[in-house]
Amino acid sequence: MSKRIALVTGGTRGIGEAISRALHKAGYKVAATYASRDEDAELFSKETGIAVYKWNIADYDACEKGVAQICEDLGGSIDVLINNAGITRDSAMHKMSFENWEAVIETNLTSCFNMSRVVIDAMREKKFGRIVNISSMNGQMGQFGQTNYSAAKAGIFGFTKALARETASRGITVNAVSPGYIATEMVKAVREDIMKQILAGIPVGRLGEPEEVARAVLFLVAEEASFITGETLSVNGGQYME
């Protein structure tokens, strides 16, 4: 069989970077999207040999164009889609602007529709596909200052389960991975006093590593994971259990 093609959104840094690297190491042809920081993305590509593509995943037309380009460059359709890209714009509701609500919903949730919609026809035709949506523990439990982020991430769980039902008979699985606090730039940007509280609340006693999230993703995209769909795999150090 020819190599499977995997696409990771936000795949050049943070959790996405670890996922891109892990898939590449496991033998997939990998394409990673990014939204800013051209220099960092190019360095990442040079170092890893992973192809990188810049577009705004909140823009449906850009997703269509970008995926078509990747399919042409890598010589096939997308077998594995990791909807990973996400942003935070934290503030309490009484201080939150509409722009910060909209930016988070569109980047974190609408992007999952955009990307899945663009790859789904080819997966259905091939009767094979793996979609993993990176949600968040804060979408399960709700977080102070994150009505936008928690809503978007909670939306991902519903999206995952609905799409899993639609695609199950076509050899396509759709699952969510739900990280807790992982040592990335996003988490390290949290105020120091709040970070202390966060750490105190993690039973394992430390932040998670991006590679620990990548490991969960790799498990779910395996050919052998074909009976697991509509499921959530939490990677949160024991902080939240449903």
- Using CB under 6 A, list all residues that contact ligand CAA: 88, 90-92, 95, 136-138, 143-146, 149, 180-181, 186-187, 190-191, 194
Q: Please state, as a whole number, how many other Cβ atoms lie within 10 Å of the Cβ of residue 64.
A: 15
Q: How far is the CB of 185 from ligand CAA (least distance, A)?
A: 10
Nearer to ligand CAA, 70 or 176 (CB): 176
Q: How far is the CB of 131 from ligand CAA (least distance, A)?
A: 19
Catalytic-role residue among 34, 53, 149, 181: 149
Nearer to ligand CAA, 12 or 146 (CB): 146
Dist CA 178 CA 50 (whole Å) = 25
Nearer to ligand CAA, 129 or 180 (CB): 180
Q: How far is the CB of 88 from ligand CAA (least distance, A)?
A: 5
Dist CA 2 CA 99 (whole Å) = 44
149 is catalytic: yes
Dist CA 51 CA 206 (whole Å) = 32
For ligand CAA, which residue has the nearest CB? 145
Nearer to ligand CAA, 68 or 92 (CB): 92
Q: Catalytic residues, which ones?
A: 149
